Structure 1
Amino acid sequence: MSEHIGLVTIDPESYLYPVVESALTAAIPGIKIKKLLDDTDKGKKVVQYGEYEELDFDRIMSDTENYLACSYVYRKALIRKHFLANTIAVYTAKNPDSILRTAVPESYNLEVDYAEFLDDSLDDAYELRCELEANEEKVLKTFILKPSMSDRGQGIRLFRSIDELQAIFDSFEEDSSSDEEEDDETEISEAEKTYGESLKAPTMVEKDDDDNNGVITSQLRHFIVQQYIPNVLLLPEHENRKFHIRTYVIASGALKVHVFKEMLALFALSPYTDPSTLSVNEEDSMIPLHGHLTNTCLQGEQKDENSVHLFWQLKGLSDVAKEQIYNELCEVTGELFKAALGGGIFFQPLPNAFEIYGLDFLVTEDHHVSLLEVNAYPDFKQTGEVFKRVVIDELFNSVAHTIVAPFFGNPATESEKLKLVLEKDVSGGW
């Protein structure tokens, strides 16, 4: 009987299940893949790959020798947008020469309970108010609004003035009211319980019209405003469509951080247009987003064969430029996790856990990278079937052989696809 268990609790019909199963069985001889544990599994070593809420958090803390989880418990310092902004701000204040100072867009925190209180929030974010007031005579900068707890690009909006920002929050409130009228008996979710009854959960409603990327159904408190990066790299060979790089990063133990070399370039639906020159839609007073949002989750049926490419196969970009971008991206990633370690309780690496994050980077026309966000449990399916073997299969095989196998006493097989960007011993530090 096998002494090693692979507890795979994600949906067996999911895009990822056969990938995880294949990677574990290839890396760990004799491992038994199971959906549930039973009494006969006591004392055996277990690696679990499942959704965050499916993990055994008590066992993560109490059985470090026999239980390996696919997620850390505390990592808000990275995956919540306002926590991430604060993590970087604190770190760069103490380390002014850090590459993070120039590798992250200028950010502002907004706390808005209701649209009518936006003006009060701007009093607290007075630097943002000054920037927007300066735009009234001539548009100098465009800004992007992101709900801190949303993912997959939902709820993102562009604006250039206080009036445009007010219109955004007014529309959020209108959509929230409409949704609540349709379903006023929805159960209070765990997020609502956590953040208080006055703060609703960050659920989204997909809209059918082309210019809507989903709206927040209820008030969120925390938002991030970032200066929109105007000088993005555009490649004529790819129709001058804006793109970002999706990079998979693996944090393991306490602590090693690897960057997976096979990266994706995710493209917007239409050619890029300077947002400062765009007029707002007459219907909703919003700036059109099609040429600006590169998150393929939002493209639905409009997504085409040009929406996703392998970074290393991009046309119009030299090998030297690609290496420069990749090396800087790795440096930024290592520094980011070093900053997160200084975030106290909000990022706590554990010796018996690992986690795959999806980091998104924009590339500027001078080939520098700018970190956009960090995603836990990234949507691997956006890779599609064409690049699944090259990216997702290789990623999980590398993780299984390099990180999971040693937990079961097997030698690690170093993968040329994984680049170590940070190694720091923080075990026992919590």
Structure 2
Amino acid sequence: MQDSKYVANSYIYRKSLIRKHYLSNTIAVYQAKHPKSILKRAFPESFQFELTYAEFLDDILDEVYELRCVLMENEEKMEKTFILKPSMTDKGQGIRLFKTIDQLQTIFDSFDEDDTDDEGDETNNGMIISQLRHFVVQEYISNPLLLPEYENRKFHIRTYVLASGQLNVYVYDRMLMLFSAENYSNPNVNDEVSDEDRIIEMAGHLTNTCLQDSTDKKVVEELKKSSLSETQQKYIVQQIHEIVADLFKAAVNVDRMNFQPLPNAFEAYGLDFLVSEDLSSENGVTLLEVNAYPDFRQTGSELKNLIDEFFDGVLCKGVLPLTVGEVLKSDSFCKVLELDL
């Protein structure tokens, strides 16, 4: 795949970025070696484990004993909420909030219910059972920045990133704010549950655009056109630039087996970030996940020009350098990392 006659629009190996349990391990190892990296404060402490059947959860918690201790301590005061993320699902599938071990067990029991089709693959929630093997647990960031102009609904920042060759990394500075359609309620303060099993209601917490189809509320906004002040926008963009740079440094230094940039390839990613209410010049932006093959359709027709400009930039910064050796200017692309691997 390193034949100069061919140019590919995807790297072959990049699991250390796009799989949640690989990502958490990559960042954990890197920040241990580089304690001053922004990733130390821009990515939550993560517990990862593999679980095939709900009945084995207690055994798994013995293996991931730090997680058991954290949850048992929380059960005394109930001051924290945790988020469960299946490693290889998208569109918010399988993501749940919980506070106790019993709630976590109930969640896995619901995954393990015998609601499969004839092929034995999908539950009635549309989740592929075979994908729900690797999981990540993190403390839930319960204090997102809420804006009255958007009815105090939770949002995250979608940032498109281009990686080219071995290795130039660009951040597309026309970023998006993706909103939940429902009002946000802090689970650490308001004990909102959806059933007798005390499972926390997810409405208002998931900001995936694909889940907001049934609303007339504004769910996509360009960051630069939002009600955020210029200073707030500056803090967000600067931290995202730094996070992305260190993230790709981590990928090439920690797990070269699972991130192998090729000299004749480029790839576009969609990175998601959460902004907390304590936003400052150095803190407040947290990396959530990295997505390969982002769904650009979710941006909507109103912001089609934003996506068009992004692909113009991909041509200028990703395609032309690999085909004719020429890099053209693209105003909204910022190079955050340049390596010679």
TM range (shorter): over 0.9
Letter in 2 for 1:370: T
Whole-Å Cα distance in 2 between the matches of residues 303 and 295 of structure 1? 13
Structure 1 residues 206 and 77, CA gap change in structure 2 (3 angstroms): same
* Secondary structure of residue in 1 paired with 2:52: coil
Superposition map of 1:18-417 within 5 A: 60-61=1-2, 63=3, 65-174=4-113, 177-179=114-116, 182-184=117-119, 207=125, 214-218=126-130, 220-276=132-188, 277-282=190-195, 285-299=198-212, 301-315=213-227, 317-342=228-253, 343-367=255-279, 368-389=284-305, 391-409=306-324, 411-417=326-332
Q: Deviations over 1:319-354 (max 9, x none)?
A: 011011101110010000000001121111101000
Q: Residue 421 of structure 1 aligns with which residue?
A: 336
Q: How far does residue 218 in structure 1 lie from its aligned partner after superposition?
A: 4.4
Under a length normalisation based on structure 2, what TM-score does the superposition of the two structures give?
Answer: 0.94
Whole-Å Cα distance in 2 between the matches of residues 216 and 74 of structure 1? 23
Structure 1 residues 205 and 117, CA gap change in structure 2 (3 angstroms): closer
Letter in 1 for 2:236: I
Whole-Å Cα distance in 2 between the matches of residues 395 and 204 of structure 1? 35
* Secondary structure of residue in 2 paired with 1:339: helix
- Contact kept? 1:114, 1:219, Cα under 8 Å: no
Under a length normalisation based on structure 1, what TM-score does the superposition of the two structures give?
Answer: 0.75
Letter in 1 for 2:118: D
Q: How far does residue 411 in structure 1 lie from its aligned partner after superposition?
A: 3.1
Letter in 1 for 2:250: A
Letter in 1 for 2:246: E
Runs of 5+ consecutive residues of structure 1 not aligned to the other structure: 1-59, 187-202, 208-213
Letter in 2 for 1:396: F
* Secondary structure of residue in 1 paired with 2:267: strand
- Contact kept? 2:164, 2:318, Cα under 8 Å: yes
Structure 1 residues 219 and 353, CA gap change in structure 2 (3 angstroms): closer
Whose Rg is larger? 1
Q: How far does residue 286 in structure 1 lie from its aligned partner after superposition?
A: 2.3
Q: How far does residue 283 in structure 1 lie from its aligned partner after superposition?
A: 5.9
Letter in 1 for 2:312: N
Aligned residue-pair number: 335
Letter in 2 for 1:162: I
Q: How far does residue 204 in structure 1 lie from its aligned partner after superposition?
A: 5.5
Q: How far does residue 133 in structure 1 lie from its aligned partner after superposition?
A: 0.9
* Secondary structure of residue in 1 paired with 2:159: strand
Q: How far does residue 407 in structure 1 lie from its aligned partner after superposition?
A: 2.8
- Contact kept? 2:184, 2:204, Cα under 8 Å: yes
Could you tell which deviates more after superposition, 394-403 or 284-293?
Answer: 284-293
* Secondary structure of residue in 2 paired with 1:69: coil
Identical columns (%):
56
* Secondary structure of residue in 2 paired with 1:407: helix
Whole-Å Cα distance in 1 between the matches of residues 107 and 8 of structure 2? 40
* Secondary structure of residue in 1 paired with 2:287: strand
- Contact kept? 2:88, 2:131, Cα under 8 Å: no
Q: Deviations over 1:254-278 (max 9, x none)?
A: 0000000111100111111011322
- Contact kept? 1:103, 1:332, Cα under 8 Å: yes
Structure 1 residues 135 and 92, CA gap change in structure 2 (3 angstroms): same
- Contact kept? 2:87, 2:136, Cα under 8 Å: yes
Q: Which protein has greater RCO, CA pairs closer than 8 Å, 6+ apart?
A: 2
* Secondary structure of residue in 1 paired with 2:7: strand
Letter in 1 for 2:260: Q
Whole-Å Cα distance in 1 between the matches of residues 320 and 192 of structure 2? 55
